[in-house]
Structure 1
Amino acid sequence: MNCNRFIFAFLFLFFSCITLAQNARIKGIIVDSEKHTVANVNVSLQGKTVQSDADGFFEIEVPANKKVSLIFTHVSLKMMSLTVTLKPNEIFVFNPVMNNSEEQMGEVFVSSRNKKRVQGITTIDPATIKRIPGANAGIENILKTLPGVNSNNEFSTQYMVRGGNYDENLVYVNEVEVYRPFLIRSGQQEGLSFTNTDLVQNVDFSAGGFQAKFGDKLSSVLDITYRKPTEFGASLEASFLGASASVDLVSKNKKWSAVTGVRYRNNSLLVNSQDTQTNYTPTFVDAQTSVNYDISEKWQMSFLGNISQNKYLYGPLTRETKFGTIDQPMALAIYYEGQEKDQYDTYFGALKTTYRAAPDLTLKLITSLFHTTEKEHFDILAQYRLGNANADEATSIEDVEFTRGIGSQLNHARNDLDALIANIELKGFKDWKESQLEFGLKYTRESIRDRVVEWEVIDSAGFSINPPIVIIPKNNQPYEPYTGPLLPYQNVRAANFNTINRFSGYAQWNKQSDLGSSQIWYSLGVRFQSWNVSGAAEEGKMQTVVSPRGQFAIKPDWEKDVVFRLSGGLYYQPPFYRELRDLDGEVNPNVKAQQSINVVLGNDYNFKMWNRPFKWVTEIYYKSLSDVNVYSIDNVRIRYMANNNAKAYAQGLDFRLNGEFVPGTESWVSFGYLKTEENYEDKGYIARPTDQRLKFAMLFQDYMPNIPSVKVYLNLVYNTGLPGGAPAYSDPYLYQNRLKDYRRADIGFSKVFIDASTRTAKKANWLKNFKELAVGVEIFNLFNNQNAITNTWVRDVYSKSQYAIPNYMTSRVFNIKLNARL
């Protein structure tokens, strides 16, 4: 009897295994017509139903060797179906595109894009990023056209958001935080930003009031997702500024996929348009890959890797700059000797594993390692001649009527840095009682080895100029001999070996419900971070901050599609290494976290104009900052006081109108007002270095009506002048100076031979091998505006005056560009 039971059980299991083996799986990511992922889509098969998750992902098991029909339904999108016959154990990847249902639009509000809408997140189309011209094209080029985002440097990918500086912005790629090099002081040294535009699938940006799940910065979040390819593809882009190539790979069983890109950048075309004539041989190269592996139905792994090498060899020769007024034109000539050799090598790797422990619980483990070795070595001697120019005849610096000052300046640096940053983080997402819980814990270890040796010696008319911040004996040259010591005008020497350990975490609760006939969304969360700094002369103490944050949104039951949002909380920014190092190069391990009480009130209004979709977005914000670490900005280098002796505020108003001004294309117009001031040691409020009062930007796409394959792209930015350009040693409470307004227009013309809209039928010629092919011409700084990033200060011994000579950015530049995709 027992034997019969055993045989029966064995046969039952055997035939069960055979039955299970006769199944297959269908999975994929559901997007809408605008390529945004869609959550909560019902995928049904013969009474069995699964739902797509927050990332639009779905997976369902289907019978093999049998024709089956899947039904995709969503409350605000049109139903669609898929009929397919699969082999046993086959995994079929299907990424459906669901279209909007006009009669239901606005009644229910649950798609992934609408979730971002109530969170105040701006989503940017990757195709737009690649098309829009810019001297430093990429994601950051588009961000600078958004309200509240400012930058006055076309060489740089860095940006300031609502009164914050370059160090106050979070950047994530595939949920992994990325870093930028430490020592870069000039935008033209940057070369490439971390993000490779060729690999991007989704770009989300928040300018403030973001949720607790995002990290500890004060200003903004840029959240980028690289695509997960479903078929082979390749792309190539080439121009006078460099080239890039990428390839999409997918294994036969669809379990492996990878997207890899290589980039090369050369800024010589831009640098050679400046006043300074140079021998300039930069090489900016990087390779980046994102690999995905589906281990099982519940378990996926991915790897993100990047290797970057930036070599910057700069040998200035001469400079000629004309400035002054019509009544008193002046000119400056500088003759250089020496060179600058900089190199920034960075290595980055991140491993992420995602495990669906239950239908309502997803866990993620993320580990990453970032290593950068940087050196900044230069010896440059500059000898100058300052004079009055002849307004009628002077076309060269040699045509001057009177020389007002001569002098020389020697700058020396031997700066080296080695930084290793390791992270491990556990994140979770759980559906709970018609709401969602998100949580995470993270450990970070930062090891910094830094040597800074830099000095500057200045003389004018043969007399060594002593530093203005050091008490020296009376100097009455040339009438009396000077008996005091000769000192460098500036001198910084330090060696720092520091380790920073950080523990951080967050918990967040999200819920959607009804308030009468209106819909509401709310999110409550809290973050914490504890850290300490070791290795300094004074041992750092353990510090802890707690950051509560919240969001509330309501969509009234109105005929018009309007959403109102209120978000904010208490935000902290614990100091990174740059914020710990003072003007003398010494590390203060007990610098506190800067604190900001942030409130953002906004609304979105979706409407139709000319029977085409448009959106009007308004946001008003206020930040009250305390424990502020005062800083100065020189080009893109930030130098901190490394104390917390100031308080500040930022307030402003942002507007953005975007939509189809031209049918089938997205364009927008942005306007922003900002006022930010700081009070250092109770001396009173003065403008912060980021106080850019007014901002106007336009991004416009068009095509020729009679030749739609000829496209036109316009990128226009106007910013009022930033505080800055004063001598580094000057007291901002005694001397406030603003740079001139920043005005720039970049335009591009493109001839599209083939793209998605023209591939309705197979081409009989050589174009059939391409998915996209376009050739274009770009004109940077179309109106040849003279924009200054800083001032060079030249001394006139005769009149005891100093003259601010503007350091102009690029003039008008032409570029040719090729884009191809297989």
Structure 2
Amino acid sequence: MEKVQSLCRIVCTCAALFIFAVAQTGTATGVVTDAETAEPLVGANVILLETQWGAATDLRGEFSITGLQTGTYVLEASMIGYESVRQNVFIEHNDTSTIDFQLTVTVLSQPDVVVSAERLIEKTSVSAQSMDRPKLLKVHGVLEDPVRSVLAMPGFSSGGEFATWLCVRGGSPNENLWLLDWVPVYWPYHFGGMKSVFNTEMIEHLELYSGGFPPKYGDKLSSVINITSREGSHERTQGKGLVSLINALALVEGPLTPRGSYIVSVRRSYYDLVLGAEPNTTIPSFYDMQTRLSYELAQEHDLYFSTLISGENARVEFEDPAPGQPGSIEDYYFVTSSSAEWNWLVTPKLYSMCAIIFQSANLQMEMNQWWLHTRVYEPGIREDLTWEMTHTHTLKTGFELRAPIVDWESFIPLNAADVGTWADTTLQGSRRAIKDDLYLGGMYVQDSWDITPRLSTNFGVRYDNNSLTKRASISPRASFRFDVDVVTALRAAHGYYYQIQEIHEMAENSNLDAKLARHYILGFERMVTPDVRSWIEVYYKDYEQLPTVDTNGHYTNEGYGYARGIEFFVQKKGEPLSGWVSYSLSWAQRKEYLDDSVNWFDYDQRHIVSATIDYSFADSWYLGLQWRFATGKPYTPIILGIRDTLGNWRPVNGEKNSERLSDFHRLDVSLNKEFSWLGMKPVVFIKLLNAYNRKNLIGYTYSFGADGTPIPEPYYGISIIPAIGFSVEF
């Protein structure tokens, strides 16, 4: 308690000193607009060249820089795609000087130059990263998957060598919130996780939170991946075609009306078309389609219509199945996510975003007489309201309401191991997992406040409830940032995060409370040079009310666990060389069974190192390198085999997650060459997956000796895979 009181006294004293200092200084304010259209420019940077202090313009194109000592300064306004403008300004204490800027669009003399800028994220964001499409196109890896870029960030690991399941800071894959244009995407993968459903060509920007995310995000414990689709071209009809390692892509975009635009992309894998059906071999296929329509009703009103359609099919036929074994296995799913979004600038200081969303999913699994059909339908609505009270004070509030309907049907023959043959008697049923009137609702309020020029905060609270348990979850959250100087900052965050239990767990026990995780984060950030950024973060995350399974197979809320670690990150921007290096050191343990002790979590990995390097050289050549190292995940060994009454071996497990796989490391290389031909932009690329042919251990299969001694047989991941492909823009 004394430490807390001392800390409060220090913070209050610092705040008082800053407030006093500001009172003796002046302020520079103004508006940045487009010189031709007079439209305000949002996100433009205004910098005091002598001090490196500055600000970004808000929704009205306005900026404010406070705490300036008396004197003459040079202000520079800049924005990607515009020519920079400088003006002199004299600042007096206790006075406000107004300086307006009109920026002119840059005319590029070289047609192959791509102009881009990374999107600004909230100033007080902790454990946050942001990437825009040009950057994603460089680092999305051999499989052209934007999630591969996410895996290179500190705190993010995958569920397997060839999988994009994200495990964040000791969490499981189902603890991550995936948003596409504000629509939750519950299964964002193809091929069981090998590739995501997201198309890099359709992304405007991607935001990542590996912890400490603000109250506007709910019902997840670990992370947020927020993806915004880009608008189609308003100038002309254009497109792109691509053929790569596992799929082909076609994209078309252009103006829809003088005030609207469209963009449509379609992808499909082609292995099943090339190889055809082979006995005893699974050849899965996937497809997806993404669209986005935009229309400006008026200067203050914009409409967006977005759709993602995703499907997959996998079938294997066995040439000579044994008696009682299936002759074929088929797995099929079809998922849609749609939204209609209305953005309204109510007043110059009040902004509304309202979205009506709808999702559906259909999963079918069939194996001879056995089958399982699952269907999900979920309509919903979301409203977010932003009120910029002052240049340094913004209030946000909003709500969301979803009404999922989930049901399944199954037809299950009696197990042949129990009766000796496949019997006509069946266990079958049609049931709803949860009641028809289920709803999930949440609301939040958060306040972003620059208390002084150096001290800023974001604090708020979130309320969640559902009609099944009728138990409310209240989640207070806060984050802080203190600028030690113009290149150094300290960051901190703390918050409560709840997540409703999984559907199959709620179906068995509808009284389960929501899972809880508490985040504690401290960070240090420094700009080493103008183009080199570095930061360190330490975190602790404790879990409560996790689902556990008792000896009778019933779910309870008695599980708990923790995750802790430290992360290092260094990033270089600019040309021709850019990239980043990250290192994570972490520990994660959980108790998941009532009759079990606390064990290492399935996704616990002690050390993870990632390096991403991009290099542009010669005439339109580009080289990309991605290297990753990770220590082995834990696994449960089989220590003995016992024969059952039918003479089959039944494995006996050892202590849960008491052994570890060997270390993993892999290098992926891509080399691109751009051309210009008949007004088009062809690109030829060569890629190497696992370039130095590392044999990474994935796991073990077991056979047994005559005395029941287990004989483990290791199986490995992919060997080196070369690939060549091409794309063309027209």
Q: TM class, shorter-chain normalised?
A: 0.7 to 0.9
Q: 1:197 aligns with which of 189, 196, 200?
A: 200
| Shift in alpha-carbon separation, 1:520–1:741, aligned structure 2, 3 A | same
Q: Please tell me the residue identity of whatever aligns with 2:187.
A: R
Conserved? CA contact 1:240–1:269, under 8 Å:
no
Q: 1:342 aligns with which of 322, 331, 341?
A: 331
Structure 2 residue matching 1:426: 3-state secondary structure: strand
1:769 aligns with 2:697: no
Q: Please tell me the residue identity of whatever aligns with 1:41.
A: T
Q: 1:231 aligns with which of 210, 232, 235?
A: 235
Q: Please tell me the residue identity of whatever aligns with 1:590.
A: N
Q: Which runs of 5+ in 1 are unaligned?
A: 1-23, 44-49, 55-70, 82-93, 100-110, 319-335, 380-411, 459-463, 467-484, 534-540, 582-586, 633-639, 755-766
Structure 2 residue matching 1:213: 3-state secondary structure: coil
Q: CA deviation at 1:190?
A: 5.0
| Shift in alpha-carbon separation, 1:549–1:572, aligned structure 2, 3 A | same
Task: Report the Cα distance in structure 2 between the residues aligned to 1:27 and 1:153, rounded to whole angstroms.
Answer: 48
Task: Report the Cα distance in structure 1 between the residues aligned to 2:695 and 2:429, rounded to whole angstroms.
Answer: 38
1:619 aligns with 2:537: yes
Question: Deviation string for 1:563-609 (max 9, x for gaps)?
Answer: 2110121111112425436xxxxx3212211111111111221122x
1:374 aligns with 2:312: no
Conserved? CA contact 1:373–1:418, under 8 Å:
yes
Q: CA deviation at 1:788?
A: 4.0
Task: Report the Cα distance in structure 1 between the residues aligned to 2:145 and 2:711, rounded to whole angstroms.
Answer: 37
1:512 aligns with 2:450: yes
Conserved? CA contact 2:140–2:147, under 8 Å:
no
1:425 aligns with 2:333: no
In structure 2, the partner of 1:172 is 179
Conserved? CA contact 1:675–1:693, under 8 Å:
yes
1:241 aligns with 2:265: no
| Shift in alpha-carbon separation, 1:736–1:298, aligned structure 2, 3 A | same
Q: CA deviation at 1:738?
A: 2.4
Conserved? CA contact 2:396–2:446, under 8 Å:
yes
- Matches of residues 9-88 of structure 1 in structure 2 within 5 Å? 27=39, 30=42, 40-41=56-57, 50-51=60-61, 73=77, 79-80=84-85
1:263 aligns with 2:267: yes
Conserved? CA contact 1:31–1:95, under 8 Å:
no
- Matches of residues 496-511 of structure 1 in structure 2 within 5 Å? 496-497=431-432, 498-499=434-435, 500-511=438-449
In structure 2, the partner of 1:643 is 556
- Matches of residues 603-752 of structure 1 in structure 2 within 5 Å? 603-608=524-529, 613-630=531-548, 642-660=555-573, 663-679=575-591, 680-681=593-594, 683-704=596-617, 707-724=618-635, 726=637, 733=655, 736-752=658-674
Conserved? CA contact 1:202–1:225, under 8 Å:
yes
| Shift in alpha-carbon separation, 1:424–1:248, aligned structure 2, 3 A | same
In structure 1, the partner of 2:688 is 779
| Shift in alpha-carbon separation, 1:193–1:714, aligned structure 2, 3 A | same
Conserved? CA contact 1:201–1:225, under 8 Å:
yes
1:158 aligns with 2:168: no
Q: Which runs of 5+ in 2 are unaligned?
A: 1-35, 46-53, 65-74, 87-102, 109-117, 639-649
Conserved? CA contact 1:697–1:716, under 8 Å:
yes
In structure 2, the partner of 1:564 is 490
- Matches of residues 543-562 of structure 1 in structure 2 within 5 Å? 543-557=471-485, 561-562=487-488
Q: CA deviation at 1:171?
A: 1.2
Q: 2:701 aligns with which of 792, 795, 805?
A: 792
In structure 2, the partner of 1:364 is 353
In structure 2, the partner of 1:19 is none
Q: Please tell me the residue identity of whatever aligns with 1:685.
A: V
Task: Report the Cα distance in structure 2 between the residues aligned to 1:720 and 1:96, rounded to whole angstroms.
Answer: 49
Q: CA deviation at 1:450?
A: 1.8
Q: 2:500 aligns with which of 574, 588, 592?
A: 574
| Shift in alpha-carbon separation, 1:173–1:27, aligned structure 2, 3 A | farther
Q: CA deviation at 1:238?
A: 0.9
Task: Report the Cα distance in structure 2 between the residues aligned to 1:751 and 1:689, rounded to whole angstroms.
Answer: 41
| Shift in alpha-carbon separation, 1:501–1:42, aligned structure 2, 3 A | closer
Structure 1 residue matching 2:298: 3-state secondary structure: coil
Identical pairs, percent: 20
Task: Report the Cα distance in structure 2 between the residues aligned to 1:143 and 1:578, rounded to whole angstroms.
Answer: 29
Provide the aligned length of Structure 1 versus Structure 2: 623
Structure 1 residue matching 2:196: 3-state secondary structure: coil
Q: CA deviation at 1:363?
A: 1.6
Structure 2 residue matching 1:817: 3-state secondary structure: strand
Q: CA deviation at 1:642?
A: 3.8
Q: CA deviation at 1:189?
A: 4.0
Structure 2 residue matching 1:543: 3-state secondary structure: coil
Task: Report the Cα distance in structure 2 between the residues aligned to 1:413 and 1:140, rounded to whole angstroms.
Answer: 35
Structure 1 residue matching 2:658: 3-state secondary structure: coil
Q: CA deviation at 1:163?
A: 0.7
Conserved? CA contact 1:133–1:747, under 8 Å:
no
Q: Please tell me the residue identity of whatever aligns with 1:353.
A: W
1:292 aligns with 2:294: yes
Conserved? CA contact 1:567–1:601, under 8 Å:
yes
Task: Report the Cα distance in structure 1 between the residues aligned to 2:398 and 2:673, rounded to whole angstroms.
Answer: 48
Q: CA deviation at 1:546?
A: 0.6
Higher-Rg member (1/2)? 1
| Shift in alpha-carbon separation, 1:289–1:425, aligned structure 2, 3 A | same
Q: TM-score, normalised by structure 1?
A: 0.69
Q: CA deviation at 1:457?
A: 6.8
Task: Report the Cα distance in structure 1 between the residues aligned to 2:554 and 2:692, rounded to whole angstroms.
Answer: 39
Moved more, 640-649 or 683-692: 640-649
- Matches of residues 506-545 of structure 1 in structure 2 within 5 Å? 506-514=444-452, 519-533=454-468, 541-545=469-473
Q: Please tell me the residue identity of whatever aligns with 1:171.
A: W
Task: Report the Cα distance in structure 2 between the residues aligned to 1:271 and 1:643, rounded to whole angstroms.
Answer: 47
Task: Report the Cα distance in structure 2 between the residues aligned to 1:311 and 1:557, rounded to whole angstroms.
Answer: 56
Structure 1 residue matching 2:659: 3-state secondary structure: coil
Q: CA deviation at 1:698?
A: 1.1
| Shift in alpha-carbon separation, 1:42–1:668, aligned structure 2, 3 A | closer
Conserved? CA contact 1:725–1:791, under 8 Å:
no
Q: CA deviation at 1:753?
A: 1.9
Conserved? CA contact 2:636–2:654, under 8 Å:
no
In structure 2, the partner of 1:214 is 217
Question: Deviation string for 1:176-226 (max 9, x for gaps)?
Answer: 222217xx9xx7345752322111111111100110111221111111111
Moved more, 161-170 or 276-285: 276-285
Structure 2 residue matching 1:143: 3-state secondary structure: helix
| Shift in alpha-carbon separation, 1:270–1:361, aligned structure 2, 3 A | farther
Q: CA deviation at 1:623?
A: 0.6
| Shift in alpha-carbon separation, 1:690–1:42, aligned structure 2, 3 A | closer
Q: CA deviation at 1:685?
A: 2.2
RMSD across aligned C-alpha pairs, in angstroms? 3.8
Q: CA deviation at 1:133?
A: 6.2
1:821 aligns with 2:724: no
Task: Report the Cα distance in structure 2 between the residues aligned to 1:315 and 1:683, rounded to whole angstroms.
Answer: 40
Structure of greater relative contact order (alpha carbons < 8 Å, 6+ residues apart): 1
Q: CA deviation at 1:746?
A: 1.2
Task: Report the Cα distance in structure 1 between the residues aligned to 2:498 and 2:274, rounded to whole angstroms.
Answer: 38
Question: Deviation string for 1:262-301 (max 9, x for gaps)?
Answer: 11124679999xxx99534432111110111111112111
Task: Report the Cα distance in structure 1 between the residues aligned to 2:170 and 2:699, rounded to whole angstroms.
Answer: 19
In structure 2, the partner of 1:446 is 404
Task: Report the Cα distance in structure 2 between the residues aligned to 1:519 and 1:487, rounded to whole angstroms.
Answer: 75
Q: CA deviation at 1:672?
A: 0.5
Q: CA deviation at 1:629?
A: 2.2
Task: Report the Cα distance in structure 2 between the residues aligned to 1:544 and 1:624, rounded to whole angstroms.
Answer: 20
In structure 1, the partner of 2:146 is 139
